[in-house]
Amino acid sequence: MAGADIGTMFGTGGADTFLGLPAADLSALEADAVILGAPCATPYPTVGPYCAGAPAAIRREINADVPSHENMDFDLGGIILEDGFRVSDAGDLAWDADASAENRDRVRTAVSAILDAGAVPVTIGGDDSIPTPVFQAFAGRGSYTILQIDAHIDWRDEVGGERWGLSSTMRRASEMEHVSAIVQAGQRAIGSARPADHADALDWGATFISAREIHAAGIARVLDAIPAGGNVLVSLDVDALDPSLVPAVIGPAPGGLTYWQVVEMIMGVAAKARIAGFNLVELMPDRDIQGIGALTAGRIVCVVLGLLARAAR
């Protein structure tokens, strides 16, 4: 039936916020976790703001296809937000495709406000450069391990003179004093990295677990590389998932991770350490097929929220 969706049937279809959660004011936060839409940070001139519509698309699909955060979620074994865990949605940040430095400042300032309020930032983007200002917001707040789940390693120093773009996020993270370890899971196929970039990452101490290894041997080595009891920033580029699940990315390649491999990886991190922040990038709504990529991204965000709620308990 044209126009029908299960969310409307059960009362949440058409909500403006993620799963109909309360809207947040960054200047007066009262929440344990905050969803933040970051549509654009540093687009390369050749591709432009290719993911700017992603936060809205993710909210739209999850609200249409998931009836309520108060209903049973079988991926989590209960409702998403247990024991009064408070999550709010701060909406989308303003952006200007011709003002990358200002875009990054907005992301960094907003994430800092969430952290100052004692909440966990859950950032949904948006182009692949958004993790850089997200990571910067954690400076001076402790020591962090980054778990990057991505088809690409993002260790270029620059591309066309741009040092803050999508190919450089892990290189920039490696230069931050508060980043003590980088674990990178899911790389496959060909990206922008050259052999020298890969060598630089290894020399710095980054740990790589490829998509091929995960398919062959599971996620154990990923979790073994996460320090027990530490603070972890989980950075998910949705091109880590197979194109059958998320076709809407800038550089699709066969052999990607499954939904359960990604979810169980994040669940394993939550069981071993503290998820201090989560960000998701690269969904391209214009390339999506029946919203399946946005829905998959939204489902992963639901799992993250549920894990944060259970960790708080």
Residue 122 sits in a domain whose CATH number is: 3.40.800.10
Does residue 49 contact residue 115 with C-beta atoms inside 8 Å? no
Any domain includes 305: yes
Instruction: Quote the CA–CA distance of 193 and 184 in Å, as a whole number.
Output: 14
Instruction: Quote the CA–CA distance of 124 and 188 in Å, as a whole number.
Output: 23
Buried b (16+ CB within 10 A) or exposed e, 90-102: bbbbebeeeebee
Residue 152's nearest CA partner among 193, 122, 108, 116 is 193
Any domain includes 1: no
Paired tokens of 176:
């931050």
Any domain includes 204: yes
The total of structural domains in the chain comes to: 1
Instruction: Quote the CA–CA distance of 283 and 291 in Å, as a whole number.
Output: 11
Residue 278's nearest CA partner among 267, 286, 290 is 267
Instruction: Quote the CA–CA distance of 34 and 22 in Å, as a whole number.
Output: 10
One-letter amino acid for residue 226 of the chain: I
Q: Report the pLDDT value the prediction gives residue 1, as an integer from 0 to 100.
A: 39
Instruction: Quote the CA–CA distance of 211 and 199 in Å, as a whole number.
Output: 19
Q: In which domain, by residue range, is 199 found? A: 6-312
What 3-state class would DSSP assign to 274? strand
What 3-state class would DSSP assign to 195? helix
Q: Report the pLDDT value the prediction gives residue 13, as an integer from 0 to 100.
A: 60
Q: What is the pTM of this model?
A: 0.95
Paired tokens of 155:
């260790």
Instruction: Quote the CA–CA distance of 308 and 234 in Å, as a whole number.
Output: 12
Q: Which residues of the chain have pLDDT under 70?
A: 1-14, 65-67
Q: Report the pLDDT value the prediction gives residue 191, as an integer from 0 to 100.
A: 93
